[in-house]
Structures are given as C-alpha cells and as structure tokens.
Structure 1
Amino acid sequence: MIKKHEIYKKDKWNMMTVEVQGKYIILREISDQWGEESHTFLSRPALMQWAQNRFPKEDYAGREEEWHDIMNAFKQV
C-alpha cells in the first residue's frame, strides 16, 4: 500500500509530495525552476534531516508559520 502525503502545493508547477512505499520514502519536488526532482530515503530521520537542510529556518524570517507548516507536514509522514 502506498501512502501519499502532500507537503505543499502552490500550483501545479510548485509542489512537493512524499510517498511511503514499504521501507522507502520517496519525495517528489516539482518546481518551475528545476523541473521534477525525486529523492529516496530509507528512514524518517533521513527525510527530516534533508527537510531541515532544504528549508533552513533563517530563510523564513517573518514567515515562521509557513516554515512550521512545512515541517509539520514532513512530521506527518
């Protein structure tokens, strides 16, 4: 069974989803800048480590709520 989580979706060109397939966690990021990128993780801690590097809290100064929403979405996975 595949469990799919939407991390965020601004429009059909800027979104991120995470699928849990057995022991694999597959993250797909679609952006209008880079196209589609896919990352595979073997554990939730590895996913969270990547998420914290990908979304540094400093980049969200003044938009802390948006950062917390993204991190909470990752924690739901």
Structure 2
Amino acid sequence: MFKKVQVYKTDKYNMLNVEIQGKTLIVREISDQWGEECHTFVSRPEMLHWAGNRFRSADFVGREDELEAIMQAFRSI
C-alpha cells in the first residue's frame, strides 16, 4: 500500500504526483509535451534537491507564488 500526494495539477495532461512507497519516493510528472516521466528517490533530501533543480526561480519570473506553492508541496511530503 502506498500514499499518493498531488503536487500540482493544471489539467488532465499536466500534473505531478508523488507516490510514497515505504522509504521510496516516486515522482510521476505528466505533461502534454513530454508524456510521463518517472523519477525514483530513496530519500526526501534527494527528492527536494531534484525539485530545486527542476523548478528554478528563473523559469517562474512573475509567477513566484506558483513556484513557492510547488516547493511547499514538496517540503510537506
């Protein structure tokens, strides 16, 4: 049994979910451009490091609140 946490969802083709399976964290990112990408992490700090690199502040100029909401969702896991 695992727990599923939704980090964000803009529509049925653009979303990011994290599945918690024991100590393993599986990030599933679905986008209309790239399809589904799956990333597996063995620790929370490893996942947060990836998230910090994936969601850079330079990509969210003018949408800083959106970036903060995404990062806060990751930190709450």
Shorter chain as normaliser: what TM range? Answer: over 0.9
**Cα RMSD (Å):** 0.7
3-state secondary structure, aligned to 1:6: strand
- Which structure has the higher relative contact order (CA within 8 Å, separation 6+)? 1
State the SS of the aligned residue for 2:51.
Answer: helix
Any idea what the Cα deviations from partners look like across 1:17-76, whole Å, max 9, x if unmatched?
Answer: 001101100000000001011000000110001001100011111111000000001011
**Percent same amino acid among aligned pairs?**
58
Code of the residue aligned with 2:33 in structure 1: it is Q
Aligned AA (2:20): V
C-alpha distance in structure 2 between counterparts of 1:44 and 1:15, whole Å: 20
Give the aligned residue type for 1:50: W
Structure 2: 5+ residue stretches without partners: none
Q: Which runs of 4+ in 1 moved over 2 A?
A: none
Separation of aligned partners in 1, 2:29 and 2:66: 17
CA distance in 2, matches of 1:44, 1:36: 21
Q: Secondary structure at the match of 2:33?
A: coil
Question: What is the count of residue pairs matched by the alignment?
Answer: 77
What is the TM-score with the length of structure 1 in the denominator? 0.96
